[in-house]
Amino acid sequence: MNVWTKYLLLFKTTESRRFAALFAIIYFAQGMSALTDQTISITFKDQGLEADDVAAFFLLASIPWFIKPLYGLISDFLPLFGQRRKSYMLLTSSLACGAGLVAALTTQYNYWELAILYTIMGFGLAYNDVLSDALMVENGKLHGLTGAFQSVQWIAITTASIFVGLLGGYFAEHRDLHTAFAVSAIFPFTVLLMAIFFLREKKHVHSGPEAFKETWKALREGFGERSIWLVAAFIFLFNFSPSFGPAFFYYKTDTLGFSQQYIGILSSIDSTFSIIGALIYASLSRTIPLRRMINIAIGLSVITLLAYLVYRGETSALFIHMIWGVTNMITTLAFLDLAARACPKRAEATFFALLMSIFNFGTLASQNIGAQLYTSLGEGSFAYTWLVAISTCTTAAIWLFVPLVHIERIEARARDDQSNQC
């Protein structure tokens, strides 16, 4: 029996297969929204901006992703037209599509105008992400498929990244930011169509004071849970290791002399092998205890980061991106699975959004610190080597915090929630 057959057998019911298909399509569309990123980076570089300036742009434009818990609160507490997820998805996907089209039609770009449009587009996408993840946690915990559903999401988003790498590299090579935005606007529109025709959600009839009290109680209990804050700190610390981000982009462009097209190809290779990592995790998540998976994931990250010390040319880059694609996906899914299992019932959107905001903030903060270090160390091979060494050491240090999180308790409580809902 091949790996694809085993993977598909994880979804044994019609409902679980329907949700798996829904998550795949929504996340593919979300992945395609990154089509403009490389072109934005090279456009700013051509304008004379430094790596830390580009990192600051993406940090600013990512503010909507930091306040995702607010969207979760609104969705959990205030059903719109009797629905907690679908109605909001219709509105936010329309907004993201509109911002992308305005950016595509803009004749000239400056730093702040582009930041505003990119941020508005990001707001719509971030809100959609919260709604999709809420559906994933609600239905994943019910069927014991949080890890499997997340693997579907990430297979879809990394499949999209393959196209993003190839098309994004082409648009960056030709400095065609207008077309990049026009194409990326198509995909929020696809989500809009999916929400209209494919997303089934019953009317939320219990939307009065009693429902409000139940949700408020779940929120209070969740915020009082020590495990939630331990998971949040654990996720932040893992991602807050000075990483490459824009610094790595400048290293590949200036020091190694890679063309924009080749950088895009490397991104696509990374994404292709990430699909293998997601398939591996989907199978292992049902058989291996989560704590062991977390330990394995940290070890894989440390080993792969060390490999980046020999990232010196096109051949070494090719092989390292293959390895990183697999190991990084396994690591990402292990931490996201932990976050999903830690979310309390009836406040899934709020708490998963909170944990993902911390996840995203840790990543972007580490990229900004990495860019600052790279610039302050003089850029080039010397700065890059130090950045790899620092990232490896800080990632390895996360092993010290694993016993403090009590992952076994979180896993046991998720199983209890599943039993109570069956």
SS3 83: strand
**pLDDT score, position 418:** 54
**pLDDT score, position 161:** 78
For residue 6, pLDDT over 70 is answered with no
Return d(Cα 404, Cα 415) in angstroms, integer.
21
Domains and CATH numbers, the chain: 14-421 (1.20.1250.20)
Q: Tell me, what DSSP letter sits at residue 286?
A: T
For residue 293, pLDDT over 50 is answered with yes
Hey, which of 50-64, 176-190, 203-217, 259-273 has the most confident mean pLDDT? 176-190
SS3 80: strand
Please write the tens of the pLDDT for every residue from 165-204: 778 878 888 888 888 899 988 988 988 888 888 777 776 5
Q: Is 271 exposed, middle or buried (0-12, 13-18, 19+ CB in 10 A)?
A: buried
**pLDDT score, position 86:** 85
Please write the tens of the pLDDT for every residue from 299-346: 988 998 898 888 888 888 889 989 988 988 888 888 888 888 887 776
For residue 265, pLDDT over 50 is answered with yes
Q: Tell me, what DSSP letter sits at residue 401?
A: G
For the chain, give percent helix, strand, coil, nearest 5. Answer: 85, 0, 15
- Residue of 413, 409, 286 whose CA lies nearest to 345: 413
**pLDDT score, position 1:** 46
More confident residue, 296 or 242: 296
Please write the tens of the pLDDT for every residue from 125-135: 888 888 888 88
How does 344-365 read in b/e, with b if 16+ C-beta sit within 10 Å? Answer: bbbbbbbbbbbbbbbbbbbbbb
Tokens at 230, concatenated: 């331990």
Percent of the chain having pLDDT more than 90?
4
Return d(Cα 281, Cα 286) in angstroms, integer.
9
More confident residue, 278 or 286: 278
Find the mean pLDDT for residues 18-44.
Answer: 83
141-155, 212-226, 392-406: the lowest-pLDDT one: 212-226
DSSP E strands in 61-116: the ranges are none
Report the chain's mean pLDDT, rounded to a whole number. Answer: 81
More confident residue, 418 or 356: 356
More confident residue, 217 or 21: 21
Q: Which long-range contacts (CB under 8 A, 24 or more apart) does 377-384 make?
A: 379/51, 379/250, 379/251, 379/254, 379/255, 380/251, 380/254, 380/255, 381/255, 381/312, 383/247, 383/251, 384/247, 384/248, 384/251, 384/255, 384/311
When pLDDT is cut at 50, 70 and 90, the band that residue 267 belongs to is confident
Tokens 């696809």 correspond to what residue? 190
Sign (positive or negative) of CA dihedral 373, 312, 265, 325: negative
For residue 420, pLDDT over 80 is answered with no
Please write the tens of the pLDDT for every residue from 334-377: 888 888 888 777 666 677 777 877 887 888 788 888 888 888 88
Which residues lie closer than 8 Å to 325 by C-beta, 6 or more apart?
A: 158, 269, 270, 271, 272, 273, 274, 276, 277
β-bridge partners, 80: 83
Return d(Cα 287, Cα 76) in angstroms, integer.
32
β-bridge partners, 83: 80
